[in-house]
Amino acid sequence: MSLYWRIFLLNAGVIAIAVALLLGPVTVSTPVRFGEAIVLLAGLAAMLVVNAVLLRVGLAPLARLNRAMATADLLKPGTRPAVTGDGEIAALTRSFNAMLDRLEAERATSSGRVLTALEAERKRIAQELHDEVGQTLTAVLLQIKHAADRAPEPVRSDLRQAQETTRASLDEIRRIARRLRPGVLEELGLHSALRSLAAEFTTARLGVTAHITPGLPHLEPAAELVLYRVAQEGLTNAARHSGATRVEVHLRPVPGGGTGLLVHDDGQGLGDAPEGAGIQGMRERALLIGAELLVGPGPHGGTEVRLEIHDTDIPGATP
């Protein structure tokens, strides 16, 4: 039954009952007596209450669909409003769910293309930093050393200082290139890459430890790259924004089969801050391989980033 006829019949039923009462035991005289006015007002109030209740029940699926539309988030897939009945609202709910399915599939495809282009651009920039800027700074470093060895003492100390500054810049260029292109991931695998990442973020103010459970199932290259990038972003957020002193990175199996990544810090937590581009980027990567990502407060404070891959057979996605 359509929504129009449902509302019409509900109202018609209420009016028919009122007319039947007036034609039956209820009578109205002219002028209206006080007792009859009380009966009429009570009947009107009862009609309005019954009509309001029936309309609320009849329009409840539409209100649920409206809430689902207002809270729909393509980066948090899987939530669908329940389809009840066979009327117009049920058809509208099914159409909305089908639209969400199409949008999520298109979002995953477009995100895959964007992330593929992003990784290719990162690789190109890292290669240029290593081959062009790195070699240029190396040549400058050798020239400064050669000049310092031949310069008189007053100038030699300045050249030595310039030499140390150039060496520090060269190390920073190499560090940036490693972050842009995780060569250790391609050459030594995910376990070594996570340990190297933990060592890279360890400083005098921040201690990072990596705990990797042996015997984990094999992962596709796309899944390994997603795990690495999520761990990298989690460590970056902890180092820059959380004020943490300790961060733990866990790579371990999850119940039901699969692999899970946990990045936990002892910082100040997220609070009421909205999700930034970093967390949204993690969600897009997780969506690309069908993984589940949770970002929130830890059980003992701080922030936790959880990524769980329940199906290790990732279909040819390249993040």
Task: Compute the distance between CA of residue 218 and CA of residue 259 in angstroms, rounded to an integer.
Answer: 9
Closest CA to 126 of 184, 74, 87, 77: 184
pLDDT at 93 over 90: no
More confident residue, 264 or 4: 264
pTM over 0.85: no
pLDDT at 136 over 60: yes
User: Domains (ranges, CATH) in the chain?
Assistant: 3-105 (no CATH), 188-319 (3.30.565.10)
Q: Give 282-313 pLDDT, tens digit per residue.
A: 888 888 777 888 888 888 888 999 998 875 44
Task: Tell me which amino acid residue 138 is.
Answer: T
pLDDT above 90: percentage of residues in the chain? 8
Mean pLDDT of the chain: 80
Q: Give 178-233 pLDDT, tens digit per residue.
A: 777 777 787 788 898 899 889 988 888 889 999 999 888 888 888 888 898 899 88
